[in-house]
A and B are shown apart, each in its own frame.
Chain A
Amino acid sequence: MSALDVGAFSAREKGVAGLLGGVGVLLLIGVVSGALAPAYLLYLVSLSAMYMLLSMGLNVQWGYGGLINFSVAAFFGLGAYGSALLTANSSPIAGNVSPVIALFGGLLLAAVLAVLIGYPTLKLRDDYLAIASLGLAEVVRIFILNENQWTAGSAGLTGIPLFFADWPVLGDLSYPYVFTVGGTAVFYMRQPVINGLLNLVLVAAFVVGVYLFLRRIHRSPWGRVLRTIKTDEDLAETLGKNTFAFKMQAFVIGSLIMALAGVFYTHLVLYVSPPDLQPITTFYVWVAVILGGTGSDRGAMLGGFTIVAIQQGTRFLNDAVQLPIGPAPLRLMLVGLLIILIVRLRPEGILPPERELIWPDAMRGERDE
């Protein structure tokens, strides 16, 4: 992404960018014409960015390391529950902790679970890992659903503050916020819009931070070893690499990114409940990753937008026309068909990794010749 000149992008990338741009223009027209609430648009974009985070997390595990992790929902859910249990005023255990501190609580919880799940399963064959991780994710969901005294059970957690609630300045804006120029009000923003903007800034910071971090580690010797493990684990072991340690590190890093998405989700939706941990969440993220292109972080962006389009689009479609099938089965059907079609037609995804694997210097050298 470092190259800003359009000439460096492939035709497919331009096509995808054009499509996303077109959707963006449509959404903006919707806002200007009043059909779409600005706060809702901000919510949609934030949600896409959250799925992007989840996809990038899975990319570290599946894309870089070839680990089939079907417990995305568990790590996402632990991040969400970790921060919700610490910050919510309805929390049965702690409550009213600052969201910034709770962020680390959520991440810590996910890291512990990642080691606990990873230790027994990462030694297993690929397909066993898939089954075991899906099962252990269900164990986490059953636990949260049943241990009312710690997690509030099926009722879920409410009374969660916004992420910036206790920050100086950002926490105590007055609403509606009026911009004045020379004493006359020129522009004002209602509370939902300001909250939406703050959320978007937060998730954008997460995404950019994670993206830069991943790009760095992916191009490092660590990333190269991980790619070797994905291609040929025996070879990596022959070269003297402790493949289990590398896989564990990738598993924990990916899980932490998923938990980060969960923490953001908590403060975006302000409500978490056990259905958030259902396996469908895991497979939304899988669709995003394999659609975008396994191992490609630009692909993760496309995948994130697609998932939100499926989730929210089916809801609108259901309001607009009488469908023979409800929105929930329709979403399931779309996700299922997408999986089948991608593996059949484009197993490498729409934006497979290209430049991700090459140092920018090497690219520049090529063009100079």
Chain B
Amino acid sequence: MAQILQYLANGLVYSSIIILGSIGLSLVYSIADFANFAHGDTMTVGAYGSFVAFGLLGGMGGSLLGLPLGFYVSLLVGMALAAAIAVLTHLAVYEPLDTDSIGLLITSIGVAFVYRASLMGIFGTDFLQYDITRSGPIPFLLDTVGVAITQRDVAIVVSAAVLVGALHFLLQRTTLGRKMRATADNPDLARVSGIRTDRVILVMWVIGSALAAAGGVFLALYSQLDPRIGFGILLVVFAAVIVGGIGSVYGAMLGGLLIGMIHELTPLLGDIGIPIGTAYAPAIAFVIMVAVLLVKPRGIAGDLT
């Protein structure tokens, strides 16, 4: 039982990362209308940006949830960097294109390669780790429920929840959020209603990429950092978006939670005697995605926005 709780706890951490990635991917899918294969590498760009910033800031100030305050500042730096690069890419690459969503999809693969090649060129391909000492599991939780959760895990889940909460507030309570929902729902109608959809698209790139960068930073913090992490997780993020229903931000959150949990519950199969190793966790997420596509092409929450 404690073992299952442990998997669920890991799942919650991993889900937080997937959710941060899938929201941005879903936003691009609904507003810019293409499957953005560069999204995973945007996560990596953000992670490297924050890694460099953290190297400069170091253990600035006190600490929060076992992480120095400098880390949170560097997280914001990484998010800002990824947002700036995504906006630049949109203006320089995607916007001048006279092509359909398939052309954009293919172009985004080129963009992904350029991002990754640049990172490999600058930082090399070695694994990097944040210079933050890893603390053991929180003793209280280990003693009472027998689940090993580190402060770092808590920090990831709480930060993700704060970011997702902020996005929810933005979408539901602000004029900008209403414009974004209107544009996602029907761009032409939004435009004739006087919404400057080109600006909304820019905002969408900023928000989507900043959240992706946060996901990348937490992924690097959770395991390690190398130029492939983003592309490696991209397919799982796609699975979350599709399971949740393309174009639905809340569906992406739900899909992210589901896929993240399934990903981390894979060892359970081995425990109950099914010989499928943890290496197949992304594969299982993927097969589930294809199954959902066949049964419910609009996703489990395709009608929510």
Give A contacts to B, CB under 8 Å.
Answer: 68, 120-121, 123-128, 130-132, 134-136, 138-139, 142-143, 145-146, 279, 283, 286, 290, 324-326, 328-330, 332-333, 335-340, 343-344, 347
Knowing A131-B235, A138-B286, A142-B280, say if A283 contacts B120 (CB, 8 Å). no
Chain A residue, CB-CB nearest to B294: A120
B127 within 8 A of A: no
Determine the distance from Cα of A135 to Cα of B96 in the docked complex, in whole angstroms.
30
Q: Given A124-B297, A339-B113, list of 12 further CB < 8 A pairs?
A: A126-B102, A127-B105, A128-B293, A131-B242, A132-B290, A142-B282, A146-B280, A279-B231, A286-B109, A340-B93, A343-B110, A344-B93
Least CB distance from A67 to B in Å reads 11
Cβ contact within 8 Å between A134 and B279: no
A71 to chain B, nearest CB (A): 12
What separation, in Å, do the CA atoms of A337 and B118 have in the docked complex? 12
Q: List chain B residues, Cβ under 8 A from A338.
A: 110
Closest to B285 in A: A135
Residue in B34, B97, B107 whose CB lies within 8 Å of A127: B34
The CA of A65 and the CA of B277, in the complex, are separated in Å by 37
Q: Write the B90-106 contact mask toward A (1 if CB under 8 angstroms, else 0).
A: 00010011010111011
User: Do A335 and B113 touch across chains, with their CB atoms under 8 A apart?
Assistant: yes
Among A125, A131, A332, A339, the one with the most B-chain Cβ atoms within 10 Å of its Cβ is A131
Residue of B nearest to A283 (CB): B109
Query: In the complex, what residues of B have CB within 8 A of residue A333's CB?
Result: 113-114, 117-118, 121
Can you sample 25 A-B contacts with CB below 8 Å? A120-B290, A120-B291, A120-B293, A120-B294, A124-B293, A124-B294, A128-B297, A131-B289, A134-B235, A135-B286, A136-B286, A136-B290, A139-B286, A142-B282, A279-B231, A286-B109, A329-B117, A330-B121, A333-B113, A333-B121, A335-B110, A336-B110, A338-B110, A340-B110, A343-B103
Q: Is the CB of A336 within 8 A of B239?
A: no
Contact call B35/A131, Cβ cutoff below 8 A: yes
Q: Which residue of A lies closest to B29 (CB)?
A: A127
Q: Which 9 A-B pairs have the closest CB atoms?
A: A336-B113, A339-B110, A333-B117, A329-B120, A325-B121, A332-B117, A336-B114, A340-B110, A135-B286
How far, in whole Å, are A290 and B93 apart by their CA atoms in the complex?
17
Residue with the highest number of chain B CB atoms closer than 10 Å, among A134, A142, A145, A332: A332
For residue A290, which residues in chain B have a CB less than 8 angstroms away from its CB?
106
User: Complex Cα distance A339/B294, Å?
Assistant: 31
CA A207 to CA B117, docked complex, whole Å: 33
User: Given A142-B283, A336-B114, are A347 and B235 neighbors across the interface (CB < 8 Å)?
Assistant: no
Contact, CB under 8 Å: A128 / B110:
no
Q: Smallest Cβ distance from B23 to chain A, in angstroms? A: 17
Interface pair A127/B102, CB less than 8 Å apart: yes
Tell me how far the C-beta of A128 lies from the nearest C-beta in chain B, rounded to whole angstroms.
6
Q: Tell me how far the C-beta of B125 lies from the nearest C-beta in chain A, rounded to whole angstroms.
A: 8
Q: Which of B231, B282, B287, B293 has the most CB of A within 10 A?
A: B293
Are B35 and A344 neighbours in the complex by a CB distance under 8 Å? no
